[in-house]
Amino acid sequence: RFSAQSIIYLDNILRPYITHVTHRGHALSSLHIICIALRFLANGSFLYNIGDAEHVSKATVCRAVRNVTVALKRLLYSFVVFPGHRPTRFIKEGCHKIAGFPGVIGCTDGTHIPIIAPSVNEGDYVNRKSFHSIKVQIICDAANIITNVEAKWPGSVHDSQIFRECTLSTKFGHGEFTGYLLGDRGYPCLPYLLTPYPDPEPGPQQRYNLANCRTRARIEMTIGMLKARFQCLQRLRVTPERACDIIVACVIL
């Protein structure tokens, strides 16, 4: 899933945070630590299985995954930037080409990442589909690049509450961005967050809903690609706090 060149790039930026300073023998190299973590993120297997494949202990795999995810989390705001690394004008043009919807700088949606039942506040993590999860809010552009992520909420929390309490919502309210977000009916309709008409009348309202739906399909595709690439997100067998760190690490990768 990662080329040799991209793994060397990861090693260059993560090495200062994950290298073991030890006088004992057989310390893992930073490259080996990264490869162990990537193997876990890519296939989501049990730590024992990863350890068998890499010829290390389960505890070593656990430490490697933890060290790499924490190191990646430090780089969140270097890689995940809203509205994007490109000028806003290009982002709007990319969204406009999909279905003719003007002024869009991102599409947002929530998704559930299943986890094992936590020992603390277990009921908060049971979502409307009756399984334990972390609720994650993701925003992307027309090129399926994730530009914002909120991964810290229990599964029972509604999309609208997550958006209302996120930093990005406050910035939009203060007029820091020129453009719109598109969301589904789970979100409130705001001057900067446009949602579909619940009962559209024939004509402009139906055309608006169609353009909104086609453009918003980008975020559904992006979430699908993220979960397909990182199979660990199918179910995380860690505490909620560590699950949130792993989700953020996958987004950065």
**Whether 233 contacts 247, CB under 8 Å:** yes
Residues 144-183: tens digit of each pLDDT: 999 999 999 999 999 999 999 999 999 999 999 999 999 9
Helices (H) and strands (E) in the chain, counts: 10, 5
Q: What is the pLDDT of residue 243?
A: 97
Q: Tell me what pLDDT residue 22 has.
A: 59
Provide the pLDDT for residue 20.
73
Q: What is the DSSP string of 33-46?
A: HHHHHHHHHHH---
What's the Cα-to-Cα distance from 48 to each of 6, 19, 20, 26, 59, rounded to whole Å?
26, 23, 22, 20, 9
**Reported pTM:** 0.94
What's the pLDDT score for residue 210?
96
Helices marked H in 58-144: 58-74, 76-79, 88-99
Distance of alpha carbon 60 from alpha carbon 190, whole angstroms: 48
* pLDDT, tens digit (0-9, with 9 covering 90-100), for 188-235: 999 999 999 999 999 999 999 999 999 999 999 999 999 999 999 999
CB 248 within 8 A of CB 150: no
- Which segments of 75-229 does DSSP mark as H helices, in order? 76-79, 88-99, 159-165, 167-173, 204-229
Please name every residue paired with 113 in a beta bridge, in sequence order, or none if there are none. Answer: 134
Structural domain spans, the chain? 4-74, 79-252
**Is 70 exceeded by the pLDDT of residue 21?**
no
Name the least confident of 14-23, 59-68, 130-139.
14-23
Tokens found for residue 113: 């990442």
pLDDT of 25 above 80: no
Mean of per-residue pLDDT scores for the chain: 94
Rg (CA), the chain: 20
Give the DSSP H or E segment for 114: strand 104-114
Asked if 224 and 214 count as a contact pair (C-beta separation under 8 A), the reply is no
The pLDDT of residue 1? 72
Separation CA 105–CA 84 (nearest Å)? 9
Does residue 81 sit in helix, strand or coil? coil
CA distances from residue 87 to 14, 31, 93, 147 in whole angstroms, order as listed: 28, 34, 10, 13
